[in-house]
Amino acid sequence: MKVLAISGSLRPDSYNTKLLRAAEELLPPEVDFVLYQGVKAVPPYDEGDDDVQVAPMSVAAVRSAIGEADAVLFATPEYNASIPGSLKNALDWVSRPLATNTLRNKPVAVIGASTGAFGAVWAQADLRKVLAAIGARVVEGEVAVGHAPTRFDETGRLVDESLREQLQETVDALLAEVEARALVPA
């Protein structure tokens, strides 16, 4: 099974990327975890031009990375009470054409971290809404890492036990959704 991880933050020291790495540690060894690194290369979406042209390589890459994964785990920061524009832009590209986009029916989960108290809960809610609109199967479960600088040690490990438990539950729910879908006849 392959899980693709997409961070909504482009920062090298991102707490959201650290949160995805923490999730990786909680996966069973047979699960292949791939952290996607190409969101920054995706150009601004322009419906007027872009829908009718061959997609740029950066867009084809994110579409196929999602297509090849059994599930996608997103970690998003909160920017001005919503998701970062770079992440929304990439998702707008992936969403087209709506009927055949690679997120359609894909099991996905959303987690998030912020430096404020609330752990990006508004951004997470917005991201779940966007993913559902695109046609993904958004699993239940929320991991809201507030005060993020205090929740990771110097090696990047998530040190809050209660958050680790919530992360385990969310990861397990995502894998269970993949397994449930595998039992449904095509």
Ligand X SMILES: Cc1cc2nc3c(=O)[nH]c(=O)nc-3n(C[C@H](O)[C@H](O)[C@H](O)COP(=O)(O)O)c2cc1C
Binding site for ligand X (CB under 6 A): 9, 11, 14-16, 77-81, 113-116, 118, 120, 148
Q: Which is nearer to ligand X, 70 or 78 (CB)?
A: 78
Residue 11 beta carbon to ligand X: minimum distance, rounded to whole angstroms: 4
Before 84, cis peptide (omega within 30)? no
Q: Which is nearer to ligand X, 33 or 79 (CB)?
A: 79
CB-based contacts of 68, cutoff 8 Å, min separation 6: 2, 4
Residue 180 beta carbon to ligand X: minimum distance, rounded to whole angstroms: 30
Q: Which is nearer to ligand X, 37 or 105 (CB)?
A: 37
Residue 117 beta carbon to ligand X: minimum distance, rounded to whole angstroms: 7
Residue 113 beta carbon to ligand X: minimum distance, rounded to whole angstroms: 6
Do residues 74 and 108 lie in contact, with contact meaning Cβ atoms separated by under 8 Å? Answer: yes
Q: Which is nearer to ligand X, 44 or 56 (CB)?
A: 44
Do residues 101 and 171 lie in contact, with contact meaning Cβ atoms separated by under 8 Å? Answer: no
> Which of 104, 102, 99, 176 has its CA nearest to residue 139?
176
Before 77, cis peptide (omega within 30)? no
